[in-house]
Chains A and B, each alone.
Chain A
């Protein structure tokens, strides 16, 4: 009995596996293996990356591909677990023989795959993880970071906040690496730019905290001038709702990375708090240029929703891969890496380059504040201030020094 159960389950398992994996690639194709989280809360962001990537790949293939080859891709769900993610990256490289790896939203997985890519000498494009270790401490010549990281976010916010008159700061956030990394980077840079500021207190809550009211009432009683809120994921909306309910947003201004972003503001519709400061790397409505409008139209036509930051990241990754190979003139990993270093491409939000020294994508950061807009049934970013890549990226020296 037990044997038959075991046999039948393993059979079902293997049949399932066969259905999931595309059996054969077309010959003569450039193969990209994507490992990312496609189950659970992270899908809010990862589907954008994949859809943006698909959009660019379809465009490229429709124009005849790259050096006569089509770009093909396979996706794997890492379920937000580093061990699964690494196993899947290995499977993609060893069995599917992919040329390039790409992903993931989970920083721990990204670092594990990055280490593997280094050993295999395979280019790895990080599309949504925000860890500064990817190109910093654990950086190497095979890894590329195609979005902002915590060090950059902190510095960008510090650049903008240094111009504000606030003196007494409270720091609060998710008690894990992302929260602490953003808060530390922001605070250290701000303190350097404005030595007279002081920190009056800190609160740290567990990741996924549902009710921020007790934290907010406590901060209100401490009366700081400004609050740095280092939350991520669903905590963004949770905090904003609690800030509105307690009247915090009318009393003490606060900053959250991505507070002004669509994923946070759209679900709240007309009920988001007004006047929250935030940073983000992409809006579908800003800059209002022909190239951004064209990108938004294409994306909306294909997926029936507005693109967000992940979409831009996925889209540009595919474009850089294609243009990199074209510039290299051959399908060769080392030649691709050489070609990509310092390469600049037009993107929906203007030219973007990959920095040669550390493989970080140079993308503009927008600082703004939540506000109503009669054009939309949700809040948007107002008073947008563009912070150029050169002003908020750590210098090459700083990054290379952190690698030792």
Chain B
């Protein structure tokens, strides 16, 4: 390890890995957003709300199963599915009739949804802060990189991120549905003309995208207070990541999330007083030189 530290100091390395674990959550949420944006052309502002609902559902499920580790693992399975179910209802009941409308209409509709979801969450869960405990095996920290403490839960996130990325890659590249979805993103009418039920494909993509928002919400829950308003903060970051990476490009979302997470954590190391500005500075720089995003946009 000493050889590594001579190139990169332990402090920087540790900070990088902290940034990477943040990247995981940003990537999971942003990939769902970009998937929907790429295939369905819906700028889903309610994506953040679904992330919030995922976190709140995780709280309830954890409580139902005794509030311990078992509760969290159940939440990891159930909560994203619950969010997927909500999105399925929204898609079948509302969005499927509106795909032909212009983007502004869809933007307004999803914004309306975000307001409705926000109030629903307040009605169901109330205004109090909620907290999901970290599962037992991930409590505390491990001394990593020159003895600097690294939270165990963040290690778990570091594993979860690549797993989701690989599953998404398999889904979009190796399954029939993924291929149809990619084709539909390019030319919807043509896909319909060869006899494929585009509506069903769209519904599936929408539900998968929202499932990812819910998954992000569950994964973030043990590290933060689950509260109203957590949607607003995230949706802005998620959109910036999606724009930075190239609209509709999942690998763009990964790249954007990496840039966002790493500039934030390393920025704090360089200049803690103004660490806040580095990720946004990165967005500005990227858009100055690549106005359509780093990778190929599907739009």
Contacts and interface: CB of A to CB of B under 8 A. Distances in A.
B140 A247 contact: yes
A221 B227 CA distance: 30
A249 to B, nearest CB: 11
Interface string B258-270: 0000001100110
Interface string A181-218: 00000000000000000000111111011110111011
Interface stretch (B93-101, B127-135, B175-183, B207-215): B127-135
A242 interface: yes
A203 B278 CA distance: 13
A246 B127 contact: no
**Chain B residues touching A, range:** 35 or more
Interface in A319-377: none
B41 interface: no
B79 interface: no
Contacts of B118: 39-40
A7 interface: no
A269 B127 contact: no
Interface stretch (B106-114, B184-192, B230-238, B289-297): B230-238
B21 interface: yes
A22 interface: no
Contacts of A264: 129
**Most chain-B Cβ atoms within 10 A of its Cβ — which of A201, A264, A267?**
A267
Contact of A206 (B122, B140, B276): B276
Contacts of B171: none
Nearest to B128: A44
A39 B264 CA distance: 30
B148 A217 contact: yes
A47 B127 contact: yes
B224 A41 contact: no
Interface stretch (A131-139, A150-158, A233-241): A233-241
A245 interface: yes
A43 interface: yes
A172 B273 CA distance: 8
A39 B119 contact: yes
**Most chain-B Cβ atoms within 10 A of its Cβ — which of A41, A209, A245?**
A245
Contact of B22 (A204, A213, A268): A213
A268 B221 CA distance: 12
A320 to B, nearest CB: 26
Contact of B15 (A210, A214, A269): A214
A234 B154 contact: no
B19 A214 contact: yes
Contacts of A203: 268, 272-273, 275
Interface in B140-185: 140-141, 148-154
A271 B133 CA distance: 7
Contacts of B265: 214
A274 interface: no
A266 B225 CA distance: 11
A297 interface: no
A175 interface: yes
A58 interface: no
Given A43-B127, A44-B127, A217 B149 contact: yes
A245 B233 contact: no
Contacts of A40: 118, 122, 228-229
A201 B272 contact: yes
A238 B18 contact: no
B233 A208 contact: yes
A94 B222 CA distance: 48
**Most chain-B Cβ atoms within 10 A of its Cβ — which of A210, A214, A219, A246?**
A214
Contacts of B133: 269, 271
Contacts of B150: 217, 246
A220 interface: yes
A319 B198 CA distance: 65
Given A203-B268, A245-B141, A246-B149, A267 B225 contact: yes
Contacts of B153: 245
A205 to B, nearest CB: 6
Nearest to B222: A241
Contacts of A210: 220, 223-224, 230, 233-234
Contacts of A242: 151, 223
A219 B152 CA distance: 19
B224 A269 contact: no
Contacts of B148: 217, 220-221
B70 to A, nearest CB: 16
Interface string B55-88: 0000000000001000000000000000000000
A263 interface: yes
B127 A215 contact: no
A234 B18 contact: no
Nearest to B140: A247
Nearest to A208: B233
Contacts of A172: 272
Contacts of B141: 245-247
A331 to B, nearest CB: 35
Contacts of B249: none
Contacts of A248: 149
Nearest to A213: B18
Nearest to B227: A234
Interface string A35-61: 000011111100100000000000000
Contacts of B129: 44, 234, 237, 263-264, 267
12 contacts: A43-B126, A205-B275, A209-B233, A210-B223, A210-B230, A211-B224, A214-B265, A217-B14, A217-B148, A242-B151, A267-B128, A269-B133
Closest 9 CB pairs of A and B: A43-B127, A237-B225, A203-B272, A214-B265, A245-B151, A41-B229, A267-B131, A208-B233, A234-B227
Interface of A: 39-44, 47, 172, 175, 201-206, 208-211, 213-215, 217-221, 234, 236-238, 241-242, 245-248, 251, 263-264, 266-269, 271
